[in-house]
Amino acid sequence: MFFLPHILKALQTLAPQVELEVIQVDINRMDEWLRTGKIDAAVCNRSYLPIQAKCELMFIERYVCMIRKGHPRVGDTLTMEQFVSERHVVVSAGTGHHFVEDRLREAGVERTVSLRVPHFSVLPEIISSSDLLVTLPMRVANMYAEKNDLRTLALPFTVPEFEVSLHWHEHTGDNSAQLWFCEFLRETISRL
């Protein structure tokens, strides 16, 4: 969500004939997909799953809470009591974004989840038209907040930062196109 527009813009300049297919990665199958060539590369949070593919850190990210401007019960800061008492949207753990859920479960904190969605793309419409809260990566949240009537707040509890990395598996034979693409991703994302 955050870097794809930049990748497409750079591809239009450097390699306008390249066809790019973006698929939602099942984090539990990512290593298999990379190894078998189903996908050439993945840019995602570095999970604690054993991944045999090569990996290069792109940036460090953290989670924030996103709400609509004018939320009737949440002001400029978010307390733990407010966080727990509000209703939430949760993005599928299959995307690799399970750290917040893990942290809440470890702490024995329960909250009301009103909606579960498979992807971040529906969040701006949902959050801007409701009083629901969602926890998501800061760069994505800031992008949504800038373009919609939304705002971000610091979480009232500690969630470790996480690494967003480029993953790939070198294949035998002529893999020059794949290696070019990985280098292109490295350079493009590092400029953001």
Question: Which whole number is the average pLDDT over 2-22?
Answer: 93
* pLDDT for res 99: 84
Buried b (16+ CB within 10 A) or exposed e, 150-169: bbbbebeeebeebebbbbbb
What residue has token string 């989670």?
63
Q: Nearest 5 degrees, angle CA 5-CA 9-CA 13?
A: 165
* The pLDDT of residue 26: 77
Average pLDDT over every residue of 10-23? 94
**pLDDT at site 170:** 83
How does pLDDT run across 27-43, given as a tens digit for each residue?
Answer: 788 889 998 989 999 99
In which element (H, E) is residue 183 found? Answer: helix 176-190
Confidence of residue 172 (pLDDT cuts 50, 70, 90): confident
Please, what are the domains in the chain?
Answer: 4-60+162-190 (3.40.190.10), 63-153 (3.40.190.10)
- pLDDT for 109 equals 94
Look at residue 3 in the predicted model and tell me its pLDDT.
87
Q: Looking at residue 27, what is its pLDDT?
A: 77
Residue 45 pLDDT grade (very low, low, confident, very high; cuts 50, 70, 90):
confident
Pairing state between β 87-91 and 41-45: unpaired
pLDDT over 90, % of the chain: 66
* Structure-token pair, residue 86: 């509000």
Looking at residues 76-104, what average pLDDT do you find?
Answer: 88
